[in-house]
Chains A and B, each alone.
Chain A
Amino acid sequence: MVLSMQKSFERFYLKKMNNIELRTENEPDVSSTDETSLLVIIIDTNPTQKLLRDKASQLTTVVDSVIAFANSHLMQKAQNKLAIMACHSKTSQFVYPGPRKPVDVRQVDGQYEIFLQVEKTVKQNLSLLLASENSTIATESLLAGAIAMALCYIARIQRTKSAGIKLNSRILIVSGSGDSASQYMNYMNVFFTAQKQNVVLDVCTLDQHLSLLQQGCDITNGLYLKVPQVSALLQFLLWVFLPEPPIREKLVLPPPVKVDYRAACFCHRELIDIGYVCSVCLSIFCKFSPICTTCHTVFKIPGPLAVKSKKKKMKL
Chain B
Amino acid sequence: MDEDDPKEYRWETGYEKTWEAIKEDHEGFLETSVADIILRAKRKRQAQKHGNTKLGMMRHLYVILDCSESMSSQDLKPTRMLCTLKILEGFIEEFFDQNPISQMGIILMHNKRAEKASDLGGNFRKHIKYIKTLNKTNLVGEPSLQNGLEVALSSLKLLPSHASREILVVMGSLTTCDPTDINNTIEKLKQEGIRCSIIGLAAEVHVCRTLANETKGTYNVILDDAHFKDLLFQQVEPPPAANALESSLIKMGFPHQMNAEGTDEPLTMCMCHVDSVDDSSKLTTGGYYCPQCLSKYCELPVECRACGLTLVSAPHLARSYHHLFPVANFEELPFNNQANICYACQKTFTDTEKWVYQCPTCTRVFCIDCDIFVHDTLHTCPGCATNLSTFQITNT
Give the B-binding residues of A (Cβ under 8 A).
Answer: 87, 89-92, 94, 97, 99, 139, 142, 144-146, 148-149, 151-153, 155-156, 159, 182-186, 188-193, 196-197, 215, 219, 258, 260-264, 272-282, 284-285, 288-289, 292, 294-295, 297-300
Shortest CB–CB separation between residue B337 and chain A, in angstroms?
Answer: 15
Q: Is B321 an interface residue (CB 8 A)?
A: yes
Query: What chain A residues lie within 8 Å of B342 (beta carbons)?
Result: 152
Query: What chain B residues lie within 8 Å of A184 (beta carbons)?
Result: 318
Apart from A149-B343, A185-B393, A280-B247, 10 more pairs, CB < 8 Å: A91-B386, A97-B346, A155-B377, A159-B369, A185-B380, A274-B252, A277-B252, A279-B249, A284-B314, A299-B247
Q: Is B324 an interface residue (CB 8 A)?
A: yes
Query: What chain B residues lie within 8 Å of A186 (beta carbons)?
Result: 380, 385, 391, 393
Q: In the complex, A192 Cα to B321 Cα: how many Å? A: 12
CB interface residues, B 225-265, toward A, < 8 Å = 241, 246-257, 259
Give the A-binding residues of B (Cβ under 8 A).
Answer: 54-55, 57-58, 101, 161-163, 241, 246-257, 259, 291-292, 309, 313-315, 317-322, 324-325, 340-347, 369-370, 373-374, 377-382, 384-388, 391-393, 396
B interface majority secondary structure: loop
Give the nearest-CB partner of A192 in chain B: B319
Q: Say yes or no: B249 contacts A288, CB within 8 Å.
A: yes
Q: Say yes or no: B309 contacts A274, CB within 8 Å.
A: yes
Q: In the complex, A185 Cα to B378 Cα: how many Å? A: 11
Shortest CB–CB separation between residue A65 and chain B, in angstroms?
Answer: 24
Shortest CB–CB separation between residue B105 and chain A, in angstroms?
Answer: 20
Q: Say yes or no: A261 contacts B340, CB within 8 Å.
A: no
A260-B256, A261-B314 are known contacts. Are A139 and B382 too (CB-CB below 8 A)?
no
* Choice from A191, A274, A300 contacting B315 with Cβ under 8 Å: A191
Q: Say yes or no: B253 contacts A274, CB within 8 Å.
A: yes
Q: In the complex, A8 Cα to B46 Cα: how many Å? A: 52
Q: In the complex, A273 Cα to B345 Cα: how many Å? A: 40
Give the nearest-CB partner of B396 in chain A: A294
Shortest CB–CB separation between residue A174 and chain B, in angstroms?
Answer: 17
Query: What chain A residues lie within 8 Å of B254 (beta carbons)?
Result: 261-263, 272-275
Q: Say yes or no: B314 contacts A262, CB within 8 Å.
A: yes
Shortest CB–CB separation between residue A155 and chain B, in angstroms?
Answer: 5
